[in-house]
Amino acid sequence: MALIFLVSSLPSSAIPRLDSLPDLIVKKGGHLIAYALLGSFYLRGLGDKKASGKGLAWFMAVLYAITDELHQSLVPGRSATLIDVGIDALGAAFGVLSSDARRLLYRSISSRSKGEASSGSDGSSSISPNKSR
């Protein structure tokens, strides 16, 4: 949040300008990434992986986006836009919803490494096979 606040505090004269398309990609991409991280951090801080926790984490990030745009409107040469709030909301949604994908990937990697730990160096399993009768 501090980094978002700091960048929002910069007057327009202190912000580098690129060509139209790269400028748009860098600035709007920055919104997406910053709020994806903020949404995922809020979710982690809440410790609630249920839908209600995800909704609350998303809502908190969007609420911060609104207040950040209002703050930005007070900075010389800057303005508040609903488009930026929308981009921030999309980023927050991505951050919150991607938590499930990260968790599944972590479980998959963990279970795979546990499986490798129980197999021998030649790939054989340390579990003895069933004896046939």
Map tokens 């991505």 to a residue: 94
Determine the Cα–Cα distance for residues 14 and 1; give it in Å rounded to an integer.
20
pTM of the model: 0.71
Determine the Cα–Cα distance for residues 105 and 11; give it in Å rounded to an integer.
41
Q: Is the pLDDT of residue 131 over 60?
A: no
105-124 CB burial, b ≥16 within 10 A, e <16: eeeeeeeeeeeeeeeeeeee
Supply angle C-alpha 9, 12, 18, rounded to 5: 120
Q: Is the pLDDT of residue 25 over 80?
A: yes
Q: Is the pLDDT of residue 47 over 60?
A: yes
Per-residue confidence (pLDDT) for residue 67, from 0 to 100: 96
pLDDT tens for 95-127 read 999 987 777 777 778 777 776 665 555 555 445
Q: How many residues does the chain have?
A: 133
